[in-house]
A and B are shown apart, each in its own frame.
Chain A
Amino acid sequence: MSAVDDAVETPREATEASEELRRLRMMMLIRRFEERTYQEYTRPGQRIGGFCHLYSGQEAIAVGVAAVFQKGRDRLINGYRDHGHALALGMDPKAAMAELFGRAAGCSRGKGGSMHFFDAANGNMGGHGIVGGQIPLGIGIAFALKYLNTGGVCFTLFGDGAVNQGTHNESLNLASLLKLPCVFIVENNGVAMGTQVGRHSAARDLVHRGCGYEMPARGFDGNDLDVVIAEVRQAADRARAGEGPSYLVANTYRFRGHSMSDPLKYRTREEAERARQRDPILLYQRRLWAKGTLNAEVLEQIEKEVAELVNAAVQFADQAPHPDLSELYTDVLAERYPLVKPASPADAAGRAAGAGGA
């Protein structure tokens, strides 16, 4: 039994407290996972390749969305800073680390890498490598959820850099026209790679970038988990009620560079120090401490658990086999060619019935 389940007393408070501790634990797991990824990436004999973007500092957003996310019903899609969301939606840290190591046991079978974590079973429609390229996909997923009358919502996440892409304008407009159940969430960490918001967006307040589309546009503290949950829930409820999309700007800060090679020269030590005071994990720990949900013993236990999970993930990834070279040509296409689809009226009913999708 984990620390999360131990620290409970009466049934109702117990549920709430264990939920809170679960969320804290997930934020801490993500942080631990990312910091370990940093170490593994920079270690001699590097086993993680390519571009790698860490989520440290932004955990409250992924965990806040996951708290509202209805598994089996909702979908999430986001950009390339995607490790945290994958874990928050339930991906096994082993599958996540194995993907970073490029192994066949990875969440994308070693073919996606850091920027392309996919997890269909958990409703995760992927991390996507081109800034803003996933926003039109997000509205398409929302379209399908509505078309199939599922009551589901697509949470479409992107960074502040993406608001300047054409896909951003196009998707917001079309989503609102079609009243799609889509919640757009800007993870505004203040800098698009190395270009601060003030240098990349004519409107400094990114909420303004979601105006003009006849949908609610709201900004809030993306480091406060409870605020994130409340805001995302409100937008999701609206989408589920058939009232269309919302635009949320979650203001946050990333502790690490854009990617592993970023020397962070565009930041002052003072700025980073101030941001550390607003670490979403620290804020949440203080809150739970004040409520009596958290104490030193429980915190220590959670720390131990997430450390063990991450250690086990690295160990697993290290020992997992690389994809067989025959995998090079698998998963390119779903069909075999020449493709014959005989005309048989009988299969129509079957196809319609099986149209739930991934």
Chain B
Amino acid sequence: MPVIQFREALRQAMIEEMERDETVFLMGEEVGEYNGAYKVSEGMLARFGPRRVIDTPISEAAFAGLGIGAAMCGLRPIIEFMSWSFSLVCFDQLVNNAANIRYMSGGQFKLPVVFRGGNGLAHQLGATHSHRVDALYSRVPGLVVVAPSTPYDAKGLLKTAIRCDDPVIFLESEVMLSDRGEVPEGEYTLPIGVADIKRPGRDVTLICWSKMVKLCLKAAGELETMGISAEVVDVRTLRPLDLDTLTGSVRRTHRCVVVDEDWPYCGMGAGIIERLYHAVFDDLDAPIGRVCCEDVPVPYNHHLEQAMQPSVEKVVAAVRQVCYV
């Protein structure tokens, strides 16, 4: 099976969907002539031309809103944010327009639009460019939020997202784009709203998504050497949440740590833990553990930035705590 980069998997998904469906187009900053700020859309302008691969000014509210308006008319826009941090300047478009129009029109419109780009901390980008928007969008009814962790998942989920008739917030990560993984040749899609057990285990469930999955798999490897068998559950879709797969795992292991990159207070992990507690309280042998970012803006300094975010050590420590070892 071919081994390709995460960015190539994203590109393959977009190219295949644009080839099968004339209504799909890609729009964003530097997606065309520059070949993508992170080279995700490399070669796509040459392949599809400027009608379907469209460079925009630095003007998020205009092109995010353009995508929503175009979707109201039956097109299937893929809107790339260079960084999800920049979506904060067009929050209104996503939260008030993309999420609400179907509901407040009494179901008269479908909004088949995908917003995608890098989310979360990368390498020393500082506080303004390191936002984690997971919880910001996952709390909004009317939106679908997908956060893949592997090239295989990224391609299959992005293809489904493009075909989806609802607005999809698709969270990638700059630091994952060069990750490599097996991706089969030819068509496949993956379901939205289904979590995936990335590593089976018996003693504790690690719940994570996006780049925290790799971190948790590393932690699970270390835990194995300590005699602790950790199950790694990749949430994959943050909204709607596949609670059944999560609770199914916790009911088997009786212990759980949620690992995410968000801030602690009202963060994504907090929301998932609240739902878990109601479902599995009687099955738990320990309170649910949590590893997340520190409650500060993201610092520039490398050491401070490292200290700010989850690490393998923090995950191992949290697991030992819930296992009482």
Contact = CB atoms under 8 A, between A and B. Distances in A.
The answer to whether A and B come from one shared complex is yes
Interface of A: 75, 77, 106-113, 116, 118-120, 125-126, 128-130, 133-145, 147-148, 154, 166-167, 170-171, 173-174, 177-178, 330-335, 337-343, 345, 348, 351-352, 355-358
A133 B96 contact: yes
B70 A116 contact: no
Contacts of A126: 101, 104-105
Interface in B46-91: 51, 54, 56-57, 59, 61-75, 77, 89-90
Contacts of A330: 107
17 contacts: A108-B108, A111-B104, A113-B104, A129-B96, A130-B96, A133-B97, A143-B66, A143-B75, A148-B73, A170-B57, A331-B107, A341-B159, A343-B159, A343-B187, A348-B21, A355-B74, A357-B73
Contacts of B189: 340-343
10 nearest interchain CB pairs?
A: A136-B65, A140-B69, A357-B74, A109-B106, A144-B73, A170-B62, A118-B105, A343-B187, A337-B193, A331-B107
A332 B237 CA distance: 17
A130 B104 CA distance: 13
Interface string B14-27: 00000011110100
B74 A339 contact: no
Given A108-B106, A140-B72, A331-B103, A345 B187 contact: yes
A136 B106 contact: no
B191 A339 contact: yes
Contacts of A142: 69
Contacts of A154: 69
Contacts of B165: 334-335
A338 B191 contact: yes
Given A166-B61, A174-B57, 18 more contacts: A108-B104, A108-B105, A109-B106, A111-B105, A112-B104, A118-B106, A125-B69, A133-B92, A140-B69, A167-B62, A170-B57, A171-B61, A174-B63, A333-B102, A333-B142, A343-B187, A351-B20, A358-B109
Contacts of A339: 160, 164, 191-193
A352 B144 CA distance: 24
A358 B108 contact: yes
Contact of A178 (B54, B68, B77): B54
A125 B103 CA distance: 13
Candidate in A112, A129, A138, A341 with the most chain B CB atoms within 10 angstroms? A341
Nearest to A331: B107
A251 B197 CA distance: 62
A134 B74 CA distance: 17
A139 B105 contact: no
B205 interface: no
Candidate in A118, A147, A173, A339 with the most chain B CB atoms within 10 angstroms? A339
Nearest to B192: A339
Interface in B156-180: 159-160, 163-166
Contacts of B107: 109, 330-331, 334
A219 to B, nearest CB: 24
Given A332-B141, A341-B160, A351-B23, A174 B106 contact: no
Nearest to B105: A118
B188 interface: yes
A338 B108 contact: no
Contacts of A333: 102, 142, 144, 166
B142 A335 contact: no
A108 B104 CA distance: 6
B242 interface: yes
Interface of B: 20-23, 25, 51, 54, 56-57, 59, 61-75, 77, 89-90, 92-93, 96-97, 101-112, 141-142, 144, 159-160, 163-166, 187-189, 191-194, 237, 240, 242
A135 B65 contact: yes
Contacts of A125: 69, 72, 109
Nearest to B241: A337
A140 B57 contact: no
Contact of B93 (A106, A108, A133): A133
Contact of A144 (B54, B75, B92, B160): B75
A234 B96 CA distance: 33
Contacts of B102: 331-334
B75 A355 contact: yes
A103 B237 CA distance: 35
Candidate in B22, B101, B106, B160 with the most chain A CB atoms within 10 angstroms? B106
Nearest to B66: A140
A109 B103 CA distance: 9
Contacts of A138: 69
Contacts of A133: 65, 92-93, 96-97
A141 B70 contact: yes
A174 B72 contact: no
B66 A136 contact: yes
B300 to A, nearest CB: 28
B166 A335 contact: yes
Contacts of B63: 136, 174
B145 to A, nearest CB: 12
Contact of B65 (A111, A140, A331): A140
A330 B108 CA distance: 12
A106 B107 CA distance: 12
Nearest to A99: B106
A118 B97 CA distance: 13
A208 to B, nearest CB: 20
B176 to A, nearest CB: 23
A109 B67 CA distance: 25
A136 B69 contact: yes
B21 A351 contact: yes
Nearest to A115: B104
A105 B142 CA distance: 22
Contact of B61 (A129, A136, A338): A136
A137 B68 contact: yes
